[in-house]
Amino acid sequence: MSQRSIRRLFTPKSIAVIGASNNPTRVGCILMKNLLSSAFDGPIMPVTPNATSVMGVLAYPNIESLPVKPDLAIICTNAERVPALAQTLAQFGCKTAIIIASGMSQCPIDENQTLAAKVKDNAKRYGMRILGPNSLGMILPNLGLNASLAHTNAQPGKIAFVSQSAAVCTTVLDWANNKGIGFSSFVSLGDTCDIDFAELLDYLGRDTQTAAIMLYIDSINDRLRFLSAARAASRHKPILVIKSGRSQEGSHAAKHHTGALFGNDAVYEAAFRRAGMLRVTGLVELFAALESLAHLNPLHGERLCILSNGGGPAVLSVDELMLNGGKLATLSEETKNKLAAVLPGTWSQQNPVDIIGDADSNRYARALDILMGSDELDAVLVLHSPSAVANGDTIADAIIQCVSQHPRKHRVNVLTNWSGEDSAYEARRRFSKAGLPTYRTPEGAVRAFMHMVEFRRNQKLLQQVPQSIVNTSDTATARRLLQQALEKGQKLLETHDARAIFNAYGLKTIDTWFANTADEAVSIAEKAGYPVALKIQSPDILHKSDVHGVMLNLANAEEVRHAAAAISSRVRSANPAARIEGMIVQKMALTAGTQELRVAVLNDPIFGPAIMLGEGGSEWEPTRDAAVALPPLNMALSRYMVIQALKTGKIHDRHLPNGMDMAALCRMLTQISNLIIDCPQIDSLDLNPVLASGDNITLLDINLRLTDDVKDNAARLAILPYPKELEENTTLRNGLQVMLRPILPEDEPKHLAFDNSLSDEDRYKRYFGMRSPMTHEEMAVLTQIDYAREMAFIATIKDESGDDITLGAIRASIDPDNTEAEFAMAVRSSHQGIGIGKLLLEKLIRYFRDAGTQVLTGYTMFENRNMASLAKSLGFSVTFDMEERLIHMQMQLSAPQE
């Protein structure tokens, strides 16, 4: 999969239409018409044996007769002919093709292959890339290219739109043209047999003509590449996504539409949030978000001020803002006095700023000018209800002029809502033309504003520094116990079997024993001390309370014997086929003043393991009842998960005497994440209930299911965790003990101290010029890396108090094709010349060689001859760029791929 080859899709110089036609009902005719009516200035070559020309353009009878190798071919024939045509095109030297035909992913050639798979194999053999099948095509307005079946062309703009649904494409296009909103790229992805969302995100994330990206997703194929690409792109530009299949029935419909797997919607939601993307829930929200993306500046804050000529719409706006977790700006006395000087005495004297129903254009403009000049707000929503006293169009013109001339127009965002239909249409049209977002209802305007707020919050989440926790996990013990269970054929572990595994990760469980008989249960209870709980043990019963298989607060031997008989009898009556293995005896937990929670891990077919947090009980629907997060979790991400669970009502703070201890909950979730990452034998997990009392967290009932299908983390996780296996201890020639390891998000404060420790000369060499100290946002990018596409190693030593001190760092980013990695390195000024740089560079070389990267490259300044000498001694070829005064270092790590 190559970004180099996909670039041809976005920069074609010549186009062939295979199956071109003069018949206006045929796909090949519609495509030719759209291509010829756009401003594309390269050759358009119709291929058909049925005509000498198509729409006045000389036609060619077959692919082999084309005068040039096309950069892009559009295949418009029926599905059965596509595989042979794609092979011929690829052999001819065409590098990209769009396939229009539908149903190819569901149409089998034989037992092992579909038409779509055959096309992909044929194309891959010769290095041709495929968009589709079942694609509407693509429109590149800035290139003057309309290679699509769309009923209308797209206008130029800065938004890229990528959709798996052709119907959504045409709907969005129609709406955008009406609003005057343009696109940098408009791509119908189709069934993604080859080019997928991940590749397009990588390309569009780097595309200078694209300022924002919007996706319509039915399903994704490669979770790791998708999230890795999305996380990289969303650091630089907003990504909004609409995902179909929110309901189970909708998921089944999406599966039928694309033929792809479908996953749990709540897990998709968690994945989008983790990647810094913003999800919208329907086409109405999508249009509102598109309006916001097209016109709004990046938000500098979340405080909204509302300016209105009526109380009712303003109150509706406030309600919508508060219900969605927004912030209403508070106006200072100074600002209120300025407003009072230009408004009638009956104005609202607060935010919302109600300037009364007879407000004219002058009153609106003067009030807005004052609000935009205030530091107490970040955005203004201007509302207007129809009035017989003042003309709405004139007021709109005054608002447009005020914003365009205001010195803070790039600092304060202005949104508008002109309510009504016929009377408001012209004003909304003028706002769109002027680049001011406009909405049909006050609530819609607020929701659009909250989309941008939520996006800003997601971006800030990506930059949070997590709290470090001392990891005392005994991973070896947990793995050994799990492997022993699998070797015995034991796929289900309950509390008595799983206690030691969870204890190895510092997770507290209730004292639990297994008893074969009632007498054995009594003996255990006597030793443990009363009261105890007795529970049926059966691999066929997940929720014991549902079949009355639990009895609590047993105070003596007689009660234990009676409970054992009663439980067995009830379970046999309710579920005669259930295998009863024995009884579980537990010390009674002190539940007074504790809160019952539930934590589960399910294995989603798309994103792999997902962690869920809700409240106790046997009725459990994750989409409805749980907050969801993807591992790996750290303390910051766990905290965000708990806050999400509280905010959305998945868990409730019962205000019990000991309360819920946030740090304790976060430690538990982080350790469960570590357990899941470290132990690939775990297929699913259900902790129900978990008792929370202050900082005391106890796992009461454990249900742990194992799998024989053990995969490495790259194959099972959606986000690669910290690669602990790359940690390495070594000794320098002066005897200093040094650890070489990948960088962690928790390293940010110490990495900032390291960067600040560099001398002015070293900083000049590292950054190719003078630069100010790093900001938090810049340091977050350097420490919160994506191990799937970049690597940074640091060298650390322990100080006298046992804290880490960073002595050096080396980092490199990989291109999406894993062809080339470019490195940069710095060593603490006080520790240069003792071999740290050599150790770091050698480790980086080993890492990228093992990863199959072809070339490792780097640049340094003429003044940094020591760096060049080190690179040359390790086998780099070193060349000098006299004009740029740079030294180029390059090492071939592996042979180029064909």
Q: How confident is the model at residue 251 (pLDDT cuts 50, 70, 90)?
A: very low
* Average pLDDT for 283-290: 80
Per the domain annotation, does 288 fall within a domain?
no
Is the model's pLDDT at 547 over the cut of 80?
no
| DSSP-H helix ranges across 210-264 | 223-234, 248-258
User: What is the rounded CA–CA span in Å between residue 654 and residue 660?
Assistant: 8
Q: How confident is the model at residue 499 (pLDDT cuts 50, 70, 90)?
A: very high
How far is residue 63 from each of residues 27, 76, 117, measured CA to CA in Å?
18, 13, 22
Average pLDDT, the chain: 90
User: What is the rounded CA–CA span in Å between residue 644 and residue 627?
Assistant: 7
CATH code at position 73 = 3.40.50.720
- For residue 581, the model assigns a pLDDT of 86
Could you tell me if 459 and 492 are in contact, meaning their C-beta atoms sit under 8 angstroms apart? no
- For residue 179, the model assigns a pLDDT of 80
Residues in a beta bridge with 886: 861, 881
302 with 448, same domain? Answer: yes
322 with 269, same domain? Answer: no
Q: How confident is the model at residue 1 (pLDDT cuts 50, 70, 90)?
A: very low
423 with 346, same domain? Answer: yes
186 with 171, same domain? Answer: yes
326 with 458, same domain? Answer: yes
- For residue 897, the model assigns a pLDDT of 55
Per the domain annotation, does 808 fall within a domain?
yes
- For residue 471, the model assigns a pLDDT of 66
Per the domain annotation, does 828 fall within a domain?
yes
404 with 379, same domain? Answer: yes
From 685, 701, 720, the end of a domain falls on 720
How far is residue 516 from each of residues 403, 538, 581, 737, 882, measured CA to CA in Å?
79, 12, 7, 54, 83
Could you tell me if 219 and 246 are in contact, meaning their C-beta atoms sit under 8 angstroms apart? no
Per the domain annotation, does 291 fall within a domain?
no
637 with 777, same domain? Answer: no
Is the model's pLDDT at 464 over the cut of 70?
no
- For residue 470, the model assigns a pLDDT of 57
- φ, ψ of residue 384 in degrees (nearest 5): -145, 125
Q: How confident is the model at residue 588 (pLDDT cuts 50, 70, 90)?
A: confident
- For residue 260, the model assigns a pLDDT of 45
How far is residue 391 from each of residues 398, 422, 428, measured CA to CA in Å?
11, 13, 13
- How do beta strands 550-554 and 532-537 pair? antiparallel
Q: Which of 262-276, 327-341, 543-557, 633-647 has the lowest mean pLDDT?
A: 543-557
From 544, 560, 588, the end of a domain falls on 588
User: What is the rounded CA–CA span in Å between residue 215 and residue 289?
Assistant: 12
CATH code at position 847 = 3.40.630.30
Is the model's pLDDT at 249 over the cut of 70?
no
Residue type, 472: T
| Total count of domains within the chain | 6
Q: How confident is the model at residue 247 (pLDDT cuts 50, 70, 90)?
A: low
Taking only the tens place, the pLDDT of each residue in 657-666 is: 777 899 999 9
632 with 676, same domain? Answer: yes
604 with 614, same domain? Answer: yes
Residue 156 preceded by cis peptide, ω within 30:
no
Is the model's pLDDT at 565 over the cut of 60?
yes
Q: Which of 218-222, 461-465, 538-542, 547-551 has the lowest mean pLDDT?
A: 461-465
Per the domain annotation, does 111 fall within a domain?
yes
User: What is the rounded CA–CA span in Å between residue 235 and residue 215?
Assistant: 16
Is the model's pLDDT at 122 over the cut of 90?
no
Per the domain annotation, does 342 fall within a domain?
yes
735 with 853, same domain? Answer: yes
- For residue 467, the model assigns a pLDDT of 64
643 with 505, same domain? Answer: yes
Taking only the tens place, the pLDDT of each residue in 155-178 is: 999 999 999 999 999 999 998 888
* Average pLDDT for 571-594: 82
- For residue 263, the model assigns a pLDDT of 75
Is the model's pLDDT at 262 over the cut of 70?
no
CATH code at position 480 = 3.30.470.20
Question: Which residues constitute the domain of residue 113?
Answer: 1-134
Taking only the tens place, the pLDDT of each residue in 680-702 is: 999 999 998 899 988 999 999 89
Per the domain annotation, does 290 fall within a domain?
no
Cβ-based neighbour number of residue 616 at 10 Å: 18
Q: How confident is the model at residue 256 (pLDDT cuts 50, 70, 90)?
A: very low
Q: What share of the chain in percent tops pLDDT 70?
A: 95
Taking only the tens place, the pLDDT of each residue in 710-769 is: 999 989 999 999 999 999 999 998 989 999 999 998 899 999 999 999 988 888 888 877
Is the model's pLDDT at 465 over the cut of 80?
no
Task: Report how far Cα 472 is from the mean position of its chain's Cα atoms.
Answer: 30
Per the domain annotation, does 34 fall within a domain?
yes
Cβ-based neighbour number of residue 612 at 10 Å: 26
Could you tell me if 294 and 369 are in contact, meaning their C-beta atoms sit under 8 angstroms apart? no
- For residue 191, the model assigns a pLDDT of 92
Taking only the tens place, the pLDDT of each residue in 398-425 is: 999 999 999 999 999 999 999 988 889 9
Taking only the tens place, the pLDDT of each residue in 806-823 is: 999 999 999 877 899 999
- For residue 4, the model assigns a pLDDT of 59
254 with 313, same domain? Answer: no
CATH code at position 392 = 3.40.50.261
Give the global pTM: 0.86
Could you tell me if 830 and 781 are in contact, meaning their C-beta atoms sit under 8 angstroms apart? no
Residue 12 preceded by cis peptide, ω within 30:
no
How far is residue 862 from each of residues 491, 809, 815, 829, measured CA to CA in Å?
62, 21, 26, 18
Beta-carbon contacts of residue 454 (< 8 Å; ≥ 6 apart):
278
From 134, 161, 178, the end of a domain falls on 134
